[in-house]
């Protein structure tokens, strides 16, 4: 079974802090994705990566950056957290770019 | 731009009932369609993936169909159980020449009452 893990289930940060969310997958998948999920807005793609050190912007990249130094690990970085970044963050991976996506358990981030 | 709609937004049924969840999409240029389940406060669990060339896929009590020309997919759940209570999401992957990445519907929140 594919396993996608995220570093924290719940996280509370203060405005202006730098925040790192980490995601690790154990199935040697080429592609990894970061989404955020908000009530009424659904899931929206922030960034994705199709290979080590490669990244593409999704629908809402503003205020975020990503890092993929190793194939199994994809990090989402909030350079200066703001209250409007309070959300559920979901990581996913897939073997093919348009293949079946497998999700992690999510990180609920609250920015005060 | 692809839009994915799921109606109804919420559904409550008694245990044992067979039910159908609907997903419609505006652009038929799709590569595949995926159904997910999400429990409250949790991540998404992949249920079924249907390629654009397929008409249906089955897994246990779940059957998903795809009618690409009419822009519709349905998820059929047989003999529903309280454990099926969750939000069900569909998501569409576009063809390689037709845009970028998965578009999600808003979900249908299902409650199965004992």
Q: What pLDDT does B95 receive?
A: 79
Q: What pLDDT does B100 receive?
A: 60
CA–CA distance, B85 with B68 (Å, rounded to integer): 28
Residue among A1, A40, A61, A98 with most chain B CBs within 10 A, to mutate: A98
Closest chain B residue to the Cα of A101, Cα to Cα = B46
Q: Which residue has the higher pLDDT, B64 or B98?
A: B64
Q: Rounding to the nearest 10 degrees, give the CA dihedral for residues A79, A84, A86, A92.
A: -70
CA–CA distance, B28 with B32 (Å, rounded to integer): 10
> Is A74 an interface residue toward B (CB < 8 Å)?
no
Question: Is A106 in Cβ contact with B49 (below 8 Å)?
Answer: no
Report the percent of chain A where pLDDT is more than 70.
98
Which of B31, B42, B107 has the CB atom closest to A98's CB atom? B31
> Which positions in chain A touch B42 (Cβ < 8 Å)?
105-106
pLDDT in tens, A27-37: 999 999 999 99
Q: If you ran DSSP here, which 8-state letter would residue B38 be given?
A: E
The CA distance from A79 to the nearest CA of chain B, in Å, is 24
Q: What pLDDT does B98 receive?
A: 59
pLDDT exceeds 90 at position A96: no
- Contact partners, residue B86, CB within 8 Å, separation at least 6: B37, B38, B39, B40, B109, B110
pLDDT exceeds 80 at position A79: yes
- Is B21:B7 a contact under the CB 8 Å cutoff? no
């Amino acid at each position: 079974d594919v396993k996608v893990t995220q570093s924290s289930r719940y996280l509370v940060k203060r405005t202006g802090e730098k925040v790192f969310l980490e995601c690790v997958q154990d199935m040697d998948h080429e592609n990894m994705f970061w989404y955020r999920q908000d009530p009424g807005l659904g899931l929206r793609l922030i960034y994705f990566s199709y290979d080590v050190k490669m990244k593409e912007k999704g629908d809402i990249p503003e205020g975020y950056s990503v890092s993929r130094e190793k194939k199994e690990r994809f990090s989402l970085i909030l350079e200066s957290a703001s209250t409007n970044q309070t959300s559920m963050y979901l990581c996913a991976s897939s073997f093919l770019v348009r293949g079946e996506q497998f999700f992690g358990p999510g990180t609920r981030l609250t920015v005060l | 731009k692809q839009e994915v709609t799921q109606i109804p937004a919420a559904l409550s049924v008694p245990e044992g009932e067979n039910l159908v969840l609907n997903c419609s999409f505006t652009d038929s240029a799709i590569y595949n369609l995926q159904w997910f389940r999400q429990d409250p406060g949790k991540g998404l669990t992949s249920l079924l993936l249907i390629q654009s060339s397929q008409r249906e896929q089955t897994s246990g009590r779940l059957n998903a169909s795809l009618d690409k020309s009419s822009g519709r997919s349905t998820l059929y759940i047989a003999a529903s159980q309280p454990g099926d209570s969750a939000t069900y999401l569909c998501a569409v992957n576009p063809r390689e020449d037709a845009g970028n990445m998965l578009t999600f519907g808003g979900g249908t929140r299902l409650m199965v009452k004992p």
